[in-house]
A = this chain, B = another copy of it.
Amino acid sequence: MSKKVALGIDFGSSSVRVLTLDIESGKVLNSVEQSYSGGVDGVYVSDSDSLLARQSPADYLKSLETALEKSVAENKKAGIEMSSVAGIGIDATGSTPIPVTKDMVPLASTDKFKDNLNAYSWMWKDHISHKEAEAITAKAGEMRQQYLGKIGGAYSSEWYWAKLWHCLNVDKEVFDAAYTWVEFSDFVPAVLTGVKDAADLKRNVCAAGHKALYSDEWGGYPDNEFLSALDPGLVKVAETLPKEVLSIEHNAGGLCKEWADKFGMKEGIPIAMGVMDAHAGGIGSGIKEGSLVKIIGTSTCDLVLGDLNMKNTNILGVAGVVKESVLPGYYGIEAGQSAVGDILNWYITNVLDNNKSHKELTDKAREQKPGQSGLLALDWNNGNRNVLTDPMLTGLILGQTLQTKDFEIYRALIEATAFGAMRIIEELENQGVVINEIVNCGGITHKNDLFMQIYADVINKPMKIAAIDETVALGSALMGAHAAYKADGVEISYNELQAKSCSVLEKVYEPNPEAVEVYRKLYENYKKLHDEFGVKGTKLELYGVMKELIEIKNQIS
């Protein structure tokens, strides 16, 4: 019999990945990927509202089938039978709620709603519900101050209740047709475990805690009085939600016969409770106490673990502080930036029309010194997730002269995302969160040395890089392995599993003192713009900003 393996299934923004892990050695055996087929890169957008971003649940499952077929083929080549799969972990983007019927059919798969994007999956980056988010923040401020303490002070348009409420406001037919709304990271485990009644749905603490205001401290999800104050219609959904939600210590269930047979796996092998993709990335990057893991992709998620005894669990300017949302035994503190890779891709695709590549621009930008372009940008092309939690903000770039070059703008955009990252770290540290090391993961951290050096210089800390590209799928596979051990009656900690599978590259990006000094000055100006455009009531004098940038530039050239 071949060795026991775990599968990590990672549903990203535009594709699903399946990673096979050798459970005993902790080695990654292979990893395959399948892009979603619908919309633009898997995303359905609207010409009339740039804030909308939807996906098709059927597309998720079809893509998973294709990915699993690829996985079967890869494993076969290596002499591994799918019957040796002993556990499965699943992560998905979030908050990405999907409206489903009582018998677990996504509304988007029904004839009635197949052409209605409101019946689709409401992708994490859909910001259409910003007015509802503001209203939730306001109402919580009046009635349930404690809610705000756990979500950094403001509810986001990216999150569960804002999205449901927006649907109720704009498309009551869809809202009424849905029995409940299930997070993407609970939907797939439910399908794979064969849940046929949405009343039986298990929900994971990661999505529930970070996106849907679930907390032990107030006995679960928001109470009906609060939801009624928003809109009585929401109570109907609340009544479908479980009293308790589960961490990755627990299983969603066993693999159902249908999916097991289709790919030659054993029926009933354990499937761990899901998590959101970034959190899986934290696990796969070897997150431990004191390490900040930055999952850098189209957007960025920052994860830090907090001691369960920590005094202040109300941290301002973060996306959430949730018990056991990452690893059992710790608070998971999540923050993030709503666009990072997306901004660079936007510049290349929408502005430069793909006439230049990331590599070409990076090669030119690498020759420049910090401050040499005279440019300064804000990283708000998709709003600001943290520390402002405001989707109604937009990009800004200043300092252009008639000599400004394309690659200088590219570099300024990278720098803007680094300043945004720094703003979050500063905010965390100011509130007593301990950060001893920073581990970065995501494709760009392996591909773009300039990007990582700028981060080291702006943040003024060494930047470590998770050794493998697929830390998110690895995190899910570790969840699958953990479930497999448990099924065998073996208690093993996540830290032990991580020790076998997670490592950082030898190359660590160290801050360069000269660059640090220049970026410190630029960052002060970034903060001025940040507060002036992003913080209500701010009235700074910005007269000197352009002049200081010219001065810095002239000192350098």
- Residues of A in contact with B (beta carbons under 8 Å apart): 45, 47-50, 339, 342-343, 346, 350-353, 355-356, 374, 378, 380-382, 392-406, 409, 532-543, 545-547, 549-550, 554, 557
Contact = CB atoms under 8 A, between A and B. Distances in A.
Nearest to A409: B351
Contacts of A543: 532-538
The list of the 3 closest CB pairs from A to B, nearest first, reads A395-B400, A396-B398, A50-B403
Nearest to A546: B394
Nearest to A355: B355
A422 to B, nearest CB: 21
Nearest to A48: B557
Contacts of A351: 351-352, 404-406, 409
A371 to B, nearest CB: 13
A352 B49 CA distance: 27
For A382, A393, A400, A535, the residue with the greatest tally of chain B CB atoms inside 10 Å of its CB is: A400
Contacts of A355: 352-353, 355
Contacts of A406: 350-353
A516 B49 CA distance: 24
Contacts of A380: 546
A382 B396 contact: no
Given A353-B406, A397-B397, A533-B542, 6 more contacts: A342-B402, A350-B404, A381-B400, A534-B543, A537-B543, A539-B539
A350 B47 contact: no
Residue of A45, A378, A538, A543 with most chain B CB atoms under a 10 A cut-off: A543
B352 A402 contact: no
Contacts of A378: 398
A543 B534 CA distance: 6
Contacts of A50: 401-403
A320 to B, nearest CB: 24
Nearest to A343: B402
Given A352-B355, A542-B532, A543-B533, A395 B403 contact: no
A337 to B, nearest CB: 13
A399 B395 contact: yes
Given A538-B543, A541-B538, A546-B393, A352 B352 contact: yes
